[in-house]
Amino acid sequence: MELERNKINKGIVMFVMILGCFLSTLNQTLLNVALNELMDVFQVSATTVQWLATGFLLINGVLVPVTAYLMKRFTTRQLFISSMLFLLTGTVVCSISSNFGVLLTGRMIQAAGTGIITPLMMSVVLALYPAERRGSAMGLIGFAVIFAPAIAPTLAGFIIDYVSWRWLFIGFAPFVVVVILLSMKYLVNVSETSRASLDFIGILYSTVGFGGILYGFSSAGSKGWGDPFILLTLIGGLLFTALFCIRQVRSKEPLLNLDVFKNKVFTLTSVINVLVTMLLYADMILLPIYLQDGRGFTAFEAGLLLLPGAVINALLSPVTGKLYDRFGPKPLFLTGLFFIIPSMWAVTELTTSTSYMYLMIRTICLRIGLSFITMPLNTAGLNALPRTLGTHGSAVNNTVRQIAGAVGTALVISVYSVQSARHEANLSQGNVGASNVEEIATLSSVLGTSDSYRFMTTLAVIAVFLTFFMPKKSVPKEAALAFASNKYTNNSK
């Protein structure tokens, strides 16, 4: 029998799930600064070791379209505990791995556990909170989603420099165990289950389609857009994604209900979400490249530069959630983007002597801007949907972010690679007085990074333009009345 919402301890449910979300998000980015170390340990190439990140993204990407079905078929408690058990199993496998194949296998198991956590949390918020209070709840989720990947470079850099790469997993496992024990004791079910049918052909289409797009964009930066296999992968991915979409539109029980895009607010927030996610992922790639390749900083030093902005970003997330509930999305989006655009423009003229403090202050400003956008953006899109489309909206939202992250990373790496090569050719011809090959390579990297940030600034300006089409308030009276009516009906059963 379904528990009545007014009897559910929302605080403890959210606390347990936020802990799980924090660990799964931390795990996703923890290895980013450890790849060079793992190349040396397992004697593999950069292309091979990149699969620890690319493969993780692929597994997440192909699982996302199935999450709406899983959330209808299984209870909140079953899904959350199963996800954390997968995460724990993969962590143990990684910690004892004796070769790269075992490490990659463990990483894939981890990915299977983390793929559903974020959309599951968003669906829980939709079920537990009325529309006018979801901003605050989403802000708490934002604390975990934003803070975890932001502290990962500093934490991983310290562990790599002073302990051992295995402690990235050994030290992680006990925290996962604690979350599993807490969820077994305190987590309750917040939604009803149903005997939904599973569309296996749709899963095949989505796996090949989304997997092809994610792999193609993730690999294009290193292999080049002209690589025949990359082109074939992208074309095949787009073709199967189109087939998947057509099948969903025609299906009576779609894996992903694309009717969510009939809602103008959801569609608009999805487009802005793509641009903002591309900016976020691109900056997370570009700044470490500049700091390490262009300036010679260690991974730990690069992580330390990012840490203050990350802390401020995380602390502001609950605050912006409350501001969202009071003022709606449009003022927050405009505020955030007017922080982001100057922050991007501030690094379009980088040099080999740009100060560490200047970069830290700039990154803090960027993170302040992101805190006004990231979770309020998700809240605005989901609030605009009726309750029946909530789980599908959450799954679509996560799919959009996964693809946008891969696309943003690939585009910025491509711009950086092309521009760095062009600058290196010009410098080698004596256009600038660099005296040797090492200086030329360093200066080319710095100039290529500046050009990439100009490209990202353009994306931010486009996002500002789209923001003007957002309504001032995103909590329609119909949505609040629908929630209240639904709650009254459940409580009267």
Q: Give residue 191's pLDDT.
A: 67
Q: Are 361 and 309 in contact (CB under 8 A)?
A: no
> Which stretches within 387-471 are classed as H helix?
390-428, 437-467
Q: Give residue 243's pLDDT.
A: 93
Indicate if the pLDDT at residue 433 is higher than 70. Answer: no
Predicted TM-score (pTM) of the model is 0.74
CATH homologous superfamily for 9-197+253-491? MFS general substrate transporter like domains (1.20.1250.20)
* Most confident of the ranges 174-188, 313-327, 399-413: 174-188
Give 372 or 127, the one with higher predicted confidence: 372
Range with the poorest average pLDDT among 2-6, 278-282, 343-347: 2-6
Q: Give residue 47's pLDDT.
A: 64
Please tell me what DSSP assigns to residue 355.
-
* Most confident of the ranges 207-211, 365-369, 392-396, 465-469: 365-369
Please state the domain extents for the chain: 9-197+253-491, 198-252
pLDDT by residue (tens digit) across 270-300? Answer: 898 888 888 887 887 788 778 877 787 876 7
* Helix/strand/coil (H/E/C) assignment for every residue in 111-151: HHHHCCHHHHHHHHHHHHCCHHHHHHHHHHHHHHHHHHHHH
List, as one string, the DSSP characters of 44-103. Answer: --HHHHTHHHHHHHHHHHHHGGGHHHHHHHS-HHHHHHHHHHHHHHHHHHHHT-SSHHHH
pLDDT by residue (tens digit) across 92-135? Answer: 999 999 999 999 999 999 988 887 887 788 778 777 877 777 77
Q: Give residue 358's pLDDT.
A: 93
Confidence of residue 485 (pLDDT cuts 50, 70, 90): very low
Indicate if the pLDDT at residue 488 is higher than 60. Answer: no
* Helix 356-371 with 264-289: angle, nearest 10 deg: 170
